[in-house]
Structure 1
Amino acid sequence: MPFQFLRAPTLRNSILWLLASLLLVFLVGMTLLSHLNLNYSKDAISDLRRQQIKEVVSGGLTRIDARQSALASYTVMLANIGESFYRLGDTGSTGSEATLKSDLENALQQHLEDFEGASGAGLWFEPGILADGNRSYMPYYTLESVTPSVTGQSVTAVPKRLDTESRFGKYRNSPWFSRTLGPDWQPDPQQAGSVYWSPVFFDLDTQRALLALASPMYNRDGQLLGIATTAWSADEIIDLVSEVSVTDQSFAFLNDRNNRNLSSLSQGEDSREEQALIDAILGLNLAERLPEAASGERPPLTTQRMMVNGRDYELYFAGTAGGMVYGAGVPEDEINAVLRTMVTTNKQILLGTVGILLLISVFLIWRIVRLIRELQASYTDELTALPNRVRLQRDLQTREGAALLILNLDRFNQINSLLGTACGDHVLLVVAARLARLRRGSESRTIYRLPGDEFALLTSPQSQSAIEELAADMRTLVTDQRVYWENQPLTLDASVGVAIRQESRANDPADQLISQATTAILRARQQGRHQLLYDPFVGIEETFENNLNWANRLKEAIDEERLIAWFQPIHDNQLDRVTKFECLVRMVEGNGDVISASRFVDIANKLRLNRTLTAVMLEQCFREFSEREEEFSLNLSYGDITHQPTVKRILDALDRSGIGERVIFEILESDGIANYDEIRSFIEQVKPYGCRIAIDDFGTGYSNFAHLLSLHVDFIKIDGSLIRHLDEDETAFLVTRGIVQFARSLNIRTVAEFVHNEQVQARVKELGIDFSQGEYFGMARPSP
Structure 2
Amino acid sequence: MVDLKKLKDYTKDMRVLYVEDDLTVQTEMSEFLKRFFPTVVLANNGKEGLEAYKEGNYDLIISDINMPVMNGIEMSKTILGEDQNQSIVIISAYNDSEYLLDLINLGIEYFVLKPVGLKQLTKIIYRVAQAHNNKKLAHLYHESIKKQNIELEKSLEEKSQIINTQIYRDSLTGLDNLCAFMYNTNNHKHLEFTVLMLLDVDNLQHINDLYGTKTGNQVLISFSKLIKEFSEEYYYELYHTSGDQFVLLDQVAYIDTEKYEIEFDILLNRIKEFTFFIDDFKKEISVNATIGMSLGLEHPLKHADMALKNAKDNNKTYAVYNTLIDTTKEMQEKMEWRHKITDALENNRIVPVYQPIVDRDANVIKYESLMRILEIVDNQEILISPDKFLKISLETKQYSLISAMMIYKVLDFLQTNEHTISINLTYSDITNKSFMESLYKRISKENLGNRLIVEITENESVQDYKLLKKSIERFRSLGVKIAIDDFGSGYSNFSQILEIHPEYIKIDGTLIENIDIDSHAFILTKAIVTFFNELGIKVIAEYVHSEKIHEILQEFNIDEFQGYYFSEPLREI
Q: Which has the larger radius of gyration?
A: 1
Normalising by the residue count of structure 2, what TM-score does the alignment of the two structures yield? 0.42
